Structure 1
């Protein structure tokens, strides 16, 4: 089974824009929502040349890009909003660690979104990047997915307060949807772990230990994905204290604090699940040792029955000419009787001692 870990992509030169992810055949598609409290406009299949003309800076603009396999288009979109090559390179390089950075008047955020792969024990991940500038939020996804479907519906139907808020609140909703995927992944892992724990109590097959180690790797992968996200969300607090980034409204910082709290809860749950797996692993080894001890005890008891019998047989197997018992008419049956009495006596004695 493949070990879950961040893929080590080959090094990309700083001046070269190259997509390093696995979705090499996904074309780049552009979707735009322009909205305020009164109305919403949705545009599909935009061309890069149309983006600048359809952006309405007086409203909130959500530009969502699916597919990163055409770096020249990603670079052209970034150029429209003043993003330099460092930002574009981080969007295209999916091996980068989750981070939050300020580039002049742009807030850049990239994050790993995880979900369990159906009918497998593996976790799939996708890098999603965000750029927040003025009243425009850009999101870059490696492929089409259902992560933000409910948010699009809320925009279309004017559900909740999203249409009354600025782009920073939309960023909060998108990040919250990604964090919800972590909850789904952990819940899926916990269901599988419960089944493994039940299996470990009835089976000592090596496959059980392999499953335990597999899901330990999955939880560690989740942990490695959440920790930098937690740190990035915490760093937003310093923006509030420094009051240097104006695109996040002061009253909306509390929403990002909630996301930070969710990350802490996820990490605590993962630690608890890792402890559970460690207990299952210890139980597995203890069960194996107990089974081996039982086998050794049984073999020892059986060998003890035959030890005195072997001694008697050994004595009468010696090549001496004069054995008094050889002249006895019932000597053969007497020796058998003695041996049977010894076996019965030892059996009763071991049973009273509860040795088996």
Structure 2
């Protein structure tokens, strides 16, 4: 477990175990799921010795649960937030063989929707984070904090977080921004599927991938709803717990940050719902186009059948086994019959044209 002390714009690593908790500033205790799962009791004792706060057994179980959804809970001593972030480095939840086979069929933009939980234990003067190994978001935040040790204050220098609340909200904001970055590749993939669905020359056969993509988008929809609910409860906790009089400005800043995170989550949620609706619309248009093409084929076959029905009738009549029939012994009988059949075809075509049975075909031919 790594421990950092943030105080008055200064960030310093603290050796573990810490002898005495600092009276100014706050501590950031960072651990991985593997470290906590290796010995949960020892980890809880180390956190309690450093912060003076005892973590309850249900929350300790939640911290080590890799399948836990986004969640918020609070006690008198601390508040707990579980937030599911994108597993950008591929270290997501354990997958079954069926999941691996299915994800190989999904485009890369959708396979990036694998997630894993990050747990925050928010205390008065400390923030405890538990995440998967090699978390890029946590690593980037740690590096930015450590860079403040070698920077002088300047007009454009960014300041380190002033409280555990602010540090947690910065981390949450970075995690939500990862979802916002997925909007463009997801939209591009859906657009490619739309063009493939409406391409009459190449029949669309990748239905399993399309169904799996819809399932992934539905999972993203549920994921964002859980994240938004957790942030709403966190916002209510800020409103109820932070005193108005001495920290009114700090409270306003925290609420602004929470509202910004919730707005980002809502944007991702709306985008996922739009993509899901786009897939459904594209599938409906695809089957409508197929039905239209089938209708055109059936109409063409009907016209051909209608043209040949009188001709078949004539040939059937002249094929009867009668001795005396008109035009049978006439030298011009064959040509007279063929002329009559041609005239009937022309008359039927003219009739079909007047009835607009061939209008669509005529316009398609002009195009």
TM-score bin (small chain): 0.7 to 0.9
Count residues in correspondence: 320
1:333 aligns with 2:299: no
The corresponding residue for 1:215 is 213
Distance 1:86 1:345, change over 3 A: same
| Contact 1:66/1:143, CA 8 A, preserved across alignment | yes
The corresponding residue for 2:99 is none
The corresponding residue for 1:191 is 188
The corresponding residue for 1:19 is none
| Contact 1:193/1:215, CA 8 A, preserved across alignment | no
Higher helix share: 2
1:269 aligns with 2:266: no
The corresponding residue for 1:121 is 110
CA distance in 2, matches of 1:314, 1:260: 79
Comparing 311-320 with 177-186, which one deviates more in the overlay? 311-320
The corresponding residue for 2:171 is 174
- Given candidates 84, 89, 96, the residue that maps to 1:112 is 84
Superposed displacement of residue 120, structure 1: 5.5
1:324 aligns with 2:322: no
- Spell out the pairing of 1:38-77 with structure 2 (5 A cutoff): 38-42=9-13, 50-53=16-19, 56=22, 58-68=24-34, 71-77=37-43
SS of residue in 2 equivalent to 1:320 = coil
SS of residue in 2 equivalent to 1:296 = helix
The corresponding residue for 1:32 is 3
What runs of 5+ residues in structure 2 fail to find an aligned partner? 49-53, 91-106, 149-156, 362-367
CA distance in 1, matches of 2:311, 2:114: 65
CA distance in 1, matches of 2:232, 2:187: 27
- Spell out the pairing of 1:252-331 with structure 2 (5 A cutoff): 252-331=254-333
**TM-score, normalised on structure 1?**
0.78
**TM-score, normalised on structure 2?**
0.76
CA distance in 1, matches of 2:35, 2:346: 81
The corresponding residue for 1:148 is 138
What runs of 5+ residues in structure 1 fail to find an aligned partner? 1-29
RMSD: 3.0
CA distance in 2, matches of 1:343, 1:188: 56
CA distance in 1, matches of 2:351, 2:43: 88
CA distance in 2, matches of 1:253, 1:183: 21
SS of residue in 2 equivalent to 1:207 = coil
